[in-house]
Chain A
Amino acid sequence: AAALTAIAARPAAATPETAKQLLQTLAKGEPKEGRVTLKAPEIAENGNAVPVTVSVESPMTDKDHVKALHIVADGNPNPGVASFFFTPLAGKCEVQLRVRMAQTQKIVCVAEMSDGTLWSAAREVKVTIGGCGG
């Protein structure tokens, strides 16, 4: 029982606000919803490795491509997850990764396009067993 209390009492340092602040430092501006598709399980039994796929609609040409993709999560000890950077050589903007999730939380992605526009998508993942070693 002691261990359980310890898990419950451990504060998650990241909040939706700190996640948003981090996104602002990564990509300044107000992102519009759309163009970004975020695939993640609705319920993740094991928070140690939650498969996440992010794709961005883009022709990936020299003139029009995705420059960066930032991913944050608002329920982990720290909000940052990863930032990815692309060049037109990629041909297609899609990345698959596995994320640790300490608890049920929302993950947010913001894509930074070569024309400076920002697009975002968000999704909540319910986590049955948290994945930060607790």
Chain B
Amino acid sequence: MADDIKPRIRVPQNPKKGDVLEIKTLITHPMESGQRKDTQGNTIPRRIVNAMAVTYNGKPVFSGKLEPAISANPYLSFFVKVEESGTLAFEWKDDDGSVYTAEQKITLA
């Protein structure tokens, strides 16, 4: 299952110093709510991405605590102000203990 989980990130092209950029993220993940039942009537165990965090050059920018009320393949967009070139680092935490990470370099014009 874990192999299907893939983060996707989109950042605007050609950013300039001081720009406030919209970062769009999506991670493919079932976000099993723990409320659903299978055909035999057994509850399907909960498995969600419960936390997400973003840093820019190691400094925290944005983070979130997610509940089962977040849709499957959680999509999140937020903003970051860039004053210098650097790396955006993303981290998602799964209920099963897995951590998924991604990085995106931002080079200012």
For A10, give the chain B residue with the smallest CB separation. Answer: B35
Stretch at the interface among A28-36, A75-83, A110-118, A119-127: A75-83
Q: Complex Cα distance A93/B69, Å?
A: 21
Q: Is B8 an interface residue (CB 8 A)?
A: no
**Residues in chain A within 8 A of chain B (CB atoms):** 48-50, 60, 73, 76-78, 80-101, 131-133
| Min distance, Cβ B67 to any Cβ of chain A, angstroms | 4
Across the interface, do A98 and B70 meet the contact criterion of CB distance under 8 Å?
Answer: yes
**Given A83-B65, A99-B69: A89 in contact with B60 (beta carbons within 8 A):** yes
Q: Is B107 an interface residue (CB 8 A)?
A: no
Across the interface, do A90 and B80 meet the contact criterion of CB distance under 8 Å?
Answer: yes
Question: Count of B residues near A, CB < 8 Å?
Answer: 29
Q: Complex Cα distance A71/B35, Å?
A: 20
B71 CB contacts on chain A under 8 angstroms = 48-50, 98-100, 131
**Given A83-B64, A87-B59, A89-B60: A48 in contact with B72 (beta carbons within 8 A):** yes
For B34, give the chain A residue with the smallest CB separation. Answer: A77
| Min distance, Cβ A70 to any Cβ of chain B, angstroms | 9
Contact of B62 among A49, A50, A82, A90 (CB under 8 A): A90
For A132, give the chain B residue with the smallest CB separation. Answer: B35
Contact of A100 among B63, B68, B77 (CB under 8 A): B68
